[in-house]
Structure 1
């Protein structure tokens, strides 16, 4: 049996679902200093409320609270139930150090220890 809801009730349920996601999510994107709250994220994209964001496109930074997670290249995909869905073209994890341009051996020394100066 399929339940059919009136348009007004369905819109109310969608609005309540969106409000619940907005309150529970810590995810956000930063685009040129403007912050947009992210409702949900999956492997290939994320969703933002339609009224919060226009059709965004380009390079954005994705945060979980204060933690910078990814630098992403995105494009708007489609609108669905009050949310704008975005697709990742690229999502590069943010690290606290530069990538090595060579292979580092597992037993490589951590630092250089010099012999003590004999003149002291």
Structure 2
């Protein structure tokens, strides 16, 4: 069974769906000192509400709440109904620890006795 709605009702349902997704999503994009709510994110990009989204390009930081996830280089790729989609040129995960600048020795059990030599 197929149901068709009027254009006004369809637009209202779409707006309500987008608002619900924005409330659920904790993802945020920080670009040029401004914060934009990310509606959805996938492996190669993300989408922002069309009313809020300028044609962003360049370096963007992506956060999940207060947790910094990625530092990304993006480009605006396409406009879909109600959202502007951006593709990652580069998405670098943010490190939680400093990189080591030395080789770590493997951990050795110091309490073990050495094997006896075979004669």
Q: Deviations over 1:68-96 (max 9, x none)?
A: 00000111111112011111111100013
Q: Deviations over 1:18-73 (max 9, x none)?
A: 10111111000111211000011111111100011111110000000000000001
Q: Secondary structure at the match of 1:15?
A: helix
Structure-2-length-normalised TM-score? 0.80
Task: Give the alignment's Cα RMSD to 1 decimal.
Answer: 1.9
Structure-1-length-normalised TM-score? 0.80
Residue 104 to residue 82, structure 1, CA distance change in 2 (3 Å):
same
Q: Which runs of 5+ in 1 are unaligned?
A: 109-120
Q: Provide the C-alpha distance between the structure 2 equivalents of 1:29 and 1:72, rounded to a whole number of angstroms.
A: 10
Larger Rg: 2
Residues 5-20 of structure 1: matches in 2 within 5 Å? 5-20=5-20
Determine whether 1:89 maps to 2:75: no
